[in-house]
Amino acid sequence: MTASGDTLIEARDLVKDYPMGESVYHALRGVSLTVRRGEFIAIMGPSGSGKSTLLHLIGCLDTPTSGEYVLAGSPVHTLAPDQLAELRNKEIGFVFQTFFLLPRANAAENVELPLIYAKIPPAQRHHMAMEALEFLGLQTHAAHRPNQLSGGQRQQIAIARALVNKPSLILADEPTGNLDSKTSENIMGLLVRLNQMGNTLILVTHEPDIAAYAPRQVRIRDGLIVSDELVGASGKGGGS
C-alpha cells in the first residue's frame, strides 16, 4: 500500500552533458523535481528542450552528469548499469510512442517480458500477464501477435506490460503520438483511470491537449524547468 503524499521522486540539480566533438552539449542544466506517489504529471516542451533527456534520467535508463536522483529510496545517480536494470524492472513501467513490442512474441508473451527478468516462474508469469490483459479487456487477444492488432490495441498491450510488475511509476513517452485522435482519447482515458487507481504517472508530450489530462504540468525549455503548476483535477483535454 502506498500512502498518497509519500515522496516517490526526489531530483536535485540534475545536469546532463553530452560531448559533441570539441564542445559540450548541455541537455539539462540543473533540474529539480519532486513527485509524490499517486501524482499525474505531464512534462511538456518542444523538441530539443531536454524533456527526452529528463525522461531517460527519471526512467533510470541513464545517469546524470551531476546532481542527485532518488527514486523510491534508491540513489539512482550512484548506481551501475545492472542495478539500474533491476530498478527499472521493479519500479518503472514504460509506455512508448511506438509501443516497442517484440514482433515475434504474442500479446501475452510481450506482457510477460518484465516478469522474465523478475525471475517469476512461467505459470505464475502467465497468470499475471493474463490478469493484466483482462483488466484491459484484451484477454481474447492474448495469442495475437502485434502485427495482428490495431495501434490502439498495441498500445494497450504495452500498457499491460508496464502494469504487470506493479511498478511505482508509469512513464509514458508520447503515448498517443502514433494514434488517431479517437484512439488517443481512449488511451488517455485509460491512463487517467490508472492514475485514479493510485498509480503514479509521468507523461512526456509536446501536445498541449494531451498534457491537459494531467493535473500537474511541468514545462521545460533549454534544459531548465520554466514552469511547474497545478492546473486542477484531470479532465477532458482541450484548452484549459
Partner 1 sequence: MSAATRKEQLYGFWGSVAELFRIALRAIMGSKMRSFLTTLGIIIGVLAVVAVVSILQGVFQSFLGQFEALGANTLFIRPNYEMFSDRREGVRRLKLTYDDAQAVAQQVPDVRAIAPMLFRSDSIAFRSRHDTTTIVGTTEAYGPISDVNMETGRFLGPMDVDSRRKVCVIGHDILDKLALPDQCLGTEIQIGRDTYTVIGVVEKLGGAFGESDDDRIYVPLTTAIQQYGNDAANQLILLVQVRDAAHMDSAVERISNVLRRQHGLKFGQTDDFRTFTQEEVLKQIKTFTNVSTLIVVAIVGITLVVGGIGIMNIMLVSVTERTREIGIRMAVGAKRIHVLYQFLIESVTLSTLGGVIGLGAGWGVSLLTVWILRKTVSPTFPAAYVPLWVILLSLGFAALTGAVFGVYPAVKASRLDPIEALRYE
* Nine cell digits for residue 72: 523510491
Q: What is d(CA 80, CA 195) in angstroms, rounded to the nearest whole number?
A: 30
Residue (146 or 215) nearer to partner 1, CB: 146
Q: Measured from the CB of residue 219, what is the shortest distance to partner 1 in angstroms? A: 23
Q: Measured from the CB of residue 39, what is the shortest distance to partner 1 in angstroms? A: 22
Rg (CA), the chain: 18
Q: What is d(CA 33, CA 225) in angstroms, rounded to the nearest whole number?
A: 9
Q: Measured from the CB of residue 231, what is the shortest distance to partner 1 in angstroms? A: 30
Mapped onto helix, strand or coil, the DSSP state of residue 159 is helix
* Distances 236 to 66, 209, 210 between C-alpha atoms, Å: 38, 9, 9
Residue 48 in contact with partner 1, rule: CB under 8 A: no
Size of the site for partner 1 (CB under 8 A): 28
Residue (75 or 122) nearer to partner 1, CB: 122
Q: What is d(CA 132, CA 48) in angstroms, rounded to the nearest whole number?
A: 35
Site for partner 1 in 164-223 (CB under 8 A): 165
Residue 119 in contact with partner 1, rule: CB under 8 A: yes
- ∠ CA 186-217-198, rounded to 5°: 60
Q: Which of 12, 13, 17, 61 binds partner 1 (CB under 8 A)?
A: 61
Q: Are strands 92-95 and 169-173 parallel, antiparallel or unpaired?
A: parallel
Residue (36 or 90) nearer to partner 1, CB: 90
Q: What is d(CA 201, CA 162) in angstroms, rounded to the nearest whole number?
A: 11
- Contact segment (CB under 8 A) with partner 1 among 2-10, 110-118, 179-187, 230-238 equals 110-118
Q: Which of 56, 77, 141, 216 binds partner 1 (CB under 8 A)?
A: 56
Question: Where does this chain bind partner 1 (CB under 8 A)?
Answer: 56, 59, 61-62, 81-82, 85-86, 88-90, 94, 96, 100-102, 104-105, 113-114, 116-119, 121-122, 161, 165
